[in-house]
Structure 1
Amino acid sequence: MKIQLALDRMDIAEAIELTKNVEDSIDWIEVGTSLIKEFGVASIKEMKHAFPHKQIVADIKTIDNARYEFELCFDAGADVATVMGVSPLVTIDTCMEVANRYQKKVMIDLLNTLNEQKKALQKYTDAIFCEHVSKDQQEELGSQNQGTRPSDFSAFQVAAAGGIKLDSIGNLIESLNPAVVIIGSAITKAENPSAAAAHFKQVILQTEGIKTC
């Protein structure tokens, strides 16, 4: 199970410095949507340059103009780029085609997708599917239900994002068993980000050990 560090609401230098402090405990580095919007694909390039051996996820949240945006991300050094599951299927088809050509991966964000849309998305067997609780839901509605997320994609590679904390990750692993857990503010805004990331890693390793016994 991989830890994907989500980097948002900071500048590139801060993102690099913070990631250096937690590098040993995380696996994938997400160049967050706000980072890309504020600083462009330079944010992807600089993160890949600073961490060439890490998987870099460009959380571009494409919903249209797929070929142009995905080529931008992959040319900048991203290993994974994101597309919204509510996009037209032709958009997601294009994302998959570009990713295959670059030998990269697509993460499909399931935020606000309907059941019928989810059924149609299951043809993308090579994609990673992200079960996502939105930032607005967390901040504006104060959603506390971060631990249990039944998935329609249990047979696929699944990522989980949104409000994941140390006191909820155990239930999340038990209910969803994600391949990737996407953690942002619980690490980036912690008093000691390095210790927080190490604690998450420890909990994951312990939980995985229990599941294999």
Structure 2
Amino acid sequence: MNIQLALDRMSIQEAIDMARWTEPYIDWIEVGTSLIKEFGMASVEAMKREFPGKVIVADVKTFDNAIYEFELCYRAGADVATVMGASPPVTVDLCIKTARTWGRQVMIDLLHTTPEEQAALARYREAVHCRHVSKDQQENGTHLTGTGAYGNAPGTGDALTGNRRAAPSGAPGSASVSPAELRIAAAGGIILDSLPGLLAMKPEVIIVGSSITKAADPVAAARSFQDCIRKLGRR
């Protein structure tokens, strides 16, 4: 499992400093949506310039205008760019094709997708499929427990993906693809105690934000995540 450090709601320099402090314990660096919205592609360029050996993720959350936005990310140095799985199918398809042209990667954010939509997206086996609890869900309605934001919130469907309940179990077209068949990432409210429960998904990427960036000692927090993942991996 790779640790992806999510950097949001800070300046570019603060993001660089945070990544520098925790660099020995993280694998992927996410230039968060808030950084991109506030500072544009300069934030992606700066992160790739400072950390050329790390996988840089531009969390642009594309919903339309796929080719233009993904080329912006890749031109700025991103290794991975994100598209919302709930966007029009043509948008996801164009993101995948653009990534292939550039020799880069796509992360599909499954936030607020139905089981049917996830099944359709599963044809993109080369993409990383991100199961995501949104910030708003974490702060305004999704019940958080000691294992993180991975319970069901009434009316919201699966809190891990933010799914809409479009069809009951067993209904035609509602079959989902086994996570074992896909490259999986998990994001949203992840704490150390979340990690054992996430192993069942066999995630390739664990995305951690405030549990590291808002910790009293971010370096110690990042080290703890790395140590825990290594111990779990040896079981």
Equivalent residue number for residue 101 of structure 1:
101
Structure 2 counterpart SS, 1:146: coil
Distance 2:48 2:55 in 1: 8
Equivalent residue number for residue 180 of structure 2:
154
Structure 2 counterpart SS, 1:92: helix
Deviates more, 1:161-170 or 1:57-66: 161-170
Equivalent residue number for residue 78 of structure 1:
78
How far apart are residue 170 of structure 1 and its match? 1.7
Q: How does 1:10-49 map to 2 (within 5 A)?
A: 10-49=10-49
Equivalent residue number for residue 113 of structure 1:
113
Letter in 2 for 1:162: G
How far apart are residue 147 of structure 1 and its match? 4.5
- Structure 1 gap ranges (5+): none
% identity of equivalent residues: 55
Distance 1:124 1:98 in 2: 13
Q: Determine if contact 1:147/1:169 at 8 Å carries over to the other structure.
A: no
Letter in 1 for 2:70: F
Deviates more, 1:119-128 or 1:36-45: 119-128
The number of residues matched between the two structures is: 209
Larger radius of gyration: 2
How far apart are residue 129 of structure 1 and its match? 0.1
Q: Determine if contact 1:128/1:157 at 8 Å carries over to the other structure.
A: yes
Equivalent residue number for residue 51 of structure 1:
51
Distance 1:58 1:154 in 2: 25
Structure 1's consecutive aligned runs of 4 or more residues displaced over 2 angstroms after TM superposition are 145-154
Distance 1:98 1:68 in 2: 9
Q: Determine if contact 1:147/1:172 at 8 Å carries over to the other structure.
A: no
Equivalent residue number for residue 157 of structure 2:
none
What RMSD, in angstroms, separates the aligned Cα atoms of the two structures?
1.4
Report the TM-score, using the length of structure 2 for normalisation: 0.86
How far does the alpha carbon of each residue in 1:19-45 deviate from its partner, in whole angstroms, 9 at most, with x for none?
A: 110000000000000000000000000
Distance 1:131 1:34 in 2: 19
Q: Determine if contact 1:36/1:43 at 8 Å carries over to the other structure.
A: yes
Equivalent residue number for residue 206 of structure 2:
181
